[in-house]
Structure 1
Amino acid sequence: MNPLGYGDPLRLGPYRVLGVLGEGGMGKVYLGRDSSGRKAAVKVLLPELAHDAQTSQRFLREAQAAQAVRGKGVARVLAVETEGGRPYIATEFLAGPTLDSLVRHHGALQEPYVRALGATLARTLGDIHAAGLVHRDLKPSNIVLTSTGPRVIDFGIARPEHGMTLTTTGQTPATPGYGAPEQILGQRTGPAGDLFALGAVLVYAATGAPAYDAGHVAAVQYEVVHGQPRLDALPPALRILIEPCLAKDPALRPLPAQIISALDPPRGAAKLWKQGPVAVEIGRSEEEARRLATFPDADTLVGSTAPGTGAPSRRRFFTGLAAGGTVLAAAGVGGLWWMTGDETPPRAHPWDADRLTDYEQGKAPDPLWGPQKTPVTGGVDLLVVRDLIILDTRSPDLIAYSVTDGKLKWRAKDVGWPALYSPSVDLLLAKSVDELYGVARKTGERLWSSPVGIVTVLALAGDVYYYHDISGDYRVPGEVVALRVTRSGSKELWRKPIPFGADVDDLEAAAAGDRLVLTARERGAVALDAANGEEVWKVSRKSGETWLPYVAGDTVYLGGPSLRAFRLSDGKPGWSEAASTNSGLSVGAVDGDHLYLVAGGQLRCHRRKDGSKKWARVLQNPIQGRPVVSGDTVWVSSSLGTEGVKAFRKSDGEPLWTLQKGQEAEGSAKIAGAGNRVFSFRDGKLTALPVI
Structure 2
Amino acid sequence: MNPLGTGDPLRLGPYRLLGVLGEGGMGKVYLGRDGAGRTSAVKVLRPELAHDAHMAQRFVREAQAARAVTGPGVARVLGAWTEGGRPWIATEFLAGPTLDEAVERHGPLGEPAVRALGAALARTLRDIHATGLVHRDLKPSNIVLTSQGPRVIDFGIARPEHGLTLTTTGAIPVTPGYGAPEQTLGQRVGPPGDVFSLGAVLVYAASGRRAYDGAHVAAVQYQVVHGEPDLTGLTPALHALVAPCLAKDPAQRPVPDAVAAAFAPPKGAERAWRRGPLADAIAERERAARRLATHTGVPDGAPAPSRRRFVAGLAAGGTAALAAAGGGAWWLLREDGGGKGPREKEDTPVPRPWDAKRLTADGYREGEAPQPLWGPVDVAILAPPPLPLPDRDLVLMPDSDGLAAFRVADGQRRWGVESQPRSGSVLLPGGLVATGGKAPGAQGRLLVLDSATGREKWSDDIRVIAVIATDGTAVYFTTGRTSDQEEIVAFDLSSRSVRWSVRMPVKTYSQDSARGVAADGRLVLSGFDGDVVALDTRTGRQAWRLAGQRPRRALAPAVSGGVVHLGGRTLTALRLTDGKELWSVAAETPVNVGYGGWSSPVLDGDALYASDGDQVTRRNRHDGSLDWARRLPGGANAELGPAAVQGGSVWVGHGKSVSALHKDTGDPAWTWTRDGIAEWKLAGAGNRIFLWHQNRLTAMPVF
TM-score, L = length of structure 1:
0.54
2:265 aligned counterpart, secondary structure: coil
Distance 1:454 1:65, change over 3 A: closer
2:690, 2:697 within 8 Å by CA — same for their partners in 1? no
1:521 aligned counterpart, secondary structure: coil
Residues 346-404 of structure 1, C-alpha deviations (whole Å, 9 max, x = no match): 997644689989858995699999814586544775556674553223342332657xx
1:116, 1:269 within 8 Å by CA — same for their partners in 2? no
- Provide the residue aligned with 2:151 in structure 1: 151
1:439, 1:445 within 8 Å by CA — same for their partners in 2? yes
1:65 aligned counterpart, secondary structure: helix
Residue identity opposite 2:516 in structure 1: A
Q: Distance in 1 between matches of 2:655 and 2:638?
A: 9
> 1:508-657, aligned counterparts within 5 Å?
508-512=514-518, 513-521=521-529, 524=531, 530=537, 538=545, 547-548=554-555, 550=557, 552=559, 559-563=567-571, 577-582=585-590, 583-590=596-603, 595-606=608-619, 615-619=628-632, 620-624=635-639, 625-629=641-645, 633=648, 635-649=650-664, 654-657=665-668
Residues 412-453 of structure 1, C-alpha deviations (whole Å, 9 max, x = no match): 533454543355676421124523211235654321233455
- Provide the residue aligned with 1:496 in structure 2: 503
- Provide the residue aligned with 2:62 in structure 1: 65
2:466, 2:479 within 8 Å by CA — same for their partners in 1? yes
Pairwise CA distance, 1:617: 1.9
Residue identity opposite 2:529 in structure 1: R
Percent identity over the alignment is 20
- Correspondence 1:414 to 2:418: yes
Between stretches 357-366 and 596-605, larger displacement belongs to: 357-366
1:516, 1:529 within 8 Å by CA — same for their partners in 2? no
- Provide the residue aligned with 1:306 in structure 2: none
2:599, 2:642 within 8 Å by CA — same for their partners in 1? no
Q: Distance in 2 between matches of 1:146 and 1:546?
A: 44
Residues 638-691 of structure 1, C-alpha deviations (whole Å, 9 max, x = no match): 233445433422xxxx2345356357799676432357x45334664434535x
1:525, 1:538 within 8 Å by CA — same for their partners in 2? yes
Q: Distance in 2 between matches of 1:262 and 1:605?
A: 43
- Provide the residue aligned with 1:169 in structure 2: none
1:655 aligned counterpart, secondary structure: coil
Residues 62-109 of structure 1, C-alpha deviations (whole Å, 9 max, x = no match): 675243257543234365359999977576x68x86569xx99xx989
Residue identity opposite 2:616 in structure 1: L
1:575, 1:610 within 8 Å by CA — same for their partners in 2? yes
Between stretches 598-607 and 361-370, larger displacement belongs to: 361-370
1:587 aligned counterpart, secondary structure: coil
Q: Distance in 1 between matches of 2:140 and 2:359?
A: 34
1:477 aligned counterpart, secondary structure: helix
Residues 300-344 of structure 1, C-alpha deviations (whole Å, 9 max, x = no match): xxxxxxxxxxxxxxxxxxxxxxxxxxxxxxxx9x99998995999
Pairwise CA distance, 1:589: 2.0
Residues 142-161 of structure 1, C-alpha deviations (whole Å, 9 max, x = no match): x58364x33356889999x9
1:413 aligned counterpart, secondary structure: strand
- Provide the residue aligned with 1:449 in structure 2: 459
Q: Distance in 2 between matches of 1:248 and 1:272?
A: 36
1:429, 1:438 within 8 Å by CA — same for their partners in 2? yes
Q: Distance in 2 between matches of 1:537 and 1:335?
A: 31
1:241 corresponds, among 195, 205, 208, to 208
Residue identity opposite 1:430 in structure 2: T
- Provide the residue aligned with 1:430 in structure 2: 435
Unaligned runs of 5+ in 2: 1-9, 21-29, 160-164, 180-203, 239-262, 291-315, 339-343, 439-443, 591-595
Pairwise CA distance, 1:484: 0.9
- Provide the residue aligned with 1:371 in structure 2: 373
Q: Distance in 1 between matches of 2:557 and 2:656?
A: 27
- Correspondence 1:689 to 2:702: yes
1:144, 1:338 within 8 Å by CA — same for their partners in 2? no
Residue identity opposite 2:489 in structure 1: A
1:581 aligned counterpart, secondary structure: coil
2:486, 2:504 within 8 Å by CA — same for their partners in 1? yes
Distance 1:354 1:31, change over 3 A: farther
Distance 1:558 1:406, change over 3 A: same
Q: Distance in 1 between matches of 2:579 and 2:84?
A: 66
1:399 corresponds, among 397, 401, 405, to 405
Q: How many residues align?
A: 532
RMSD (Å) for aligned C-alpha atoms? 6.7
Residues 482-516 of structure 1, C-alpha deviations (whole Å, 9 max, x = no match): 13142674537324266769x88766343543455
- Provide the residue aligned with 1:75 in structure 2: 75
2:616, 2:629 within 8 Å by CA — same for their partners in 1? yes
2:75, 2:324 within 8 Å by CA — same for their partners in 1? no
Q: Distance in 2 between matches of 1:162 and 1:370?
A: 69
1:428 aligned counterpart, secondary structure: strand
Pairwise CA distance, 1:41: 7.8
Residues 232-255 of structure 1, C-alpha deviations (whole Å, 9 max, x = no match): xxxxx9795169999997777999
2:464, 2:477 within 8 Å by CA — same for their partners in 1? no
Residues 609-652 of structure 1, C-alpha deviations (whole Å, 9 max, x = no match): 77665542221323232023457x56122233445433422xxx
- Correspondence 1:439 to 2:463: no
Residues 35-76 of structure 1, C-alpha deviations (whole Å, 9 max, x = no match): xxxxx988889xxx9997768999997675243257543234
TM-score, L = length of structure 2:
0.54
Distance 1:87 1:117, change over 3 A: farther
1:77, 1:89 within 8 Å by CA — same for their partners in 2? yes
Pairwise CA distance, 1:549: 6.0
Unaligned runs of 5+ in 1: 1-7, 34-39, 164-187, 196-236, 290-331
Pairwise CA distance, 1:193: 12
Residues 531-588 of structure 1, C-alpha deviations (whole Å, 9 max, x = no match): 5656665556799878526263666566444456666555666765432213122432
Distance 1:378 1:54, change over 3 A: farther
Between stretches 548-557 and 480-489, larger displacement belongs to: 548-557
Q: Distance in 1 between matches of 2:698 and 2:416?
A: 19
- Provide the residue aligned with 2:487 in structure 1: 480
Residue identity opposite 1:550 in structure 2: P
Residue identity opposite 1:151 in structure 2: R
Q: Distance in 2 between matches of 1:136 and 1:239?
A: 12
Q: Distance in 1 between matches of 2:56 and 2:392?
A: 39
1:584 aligned counterpart, secondary structure: coil
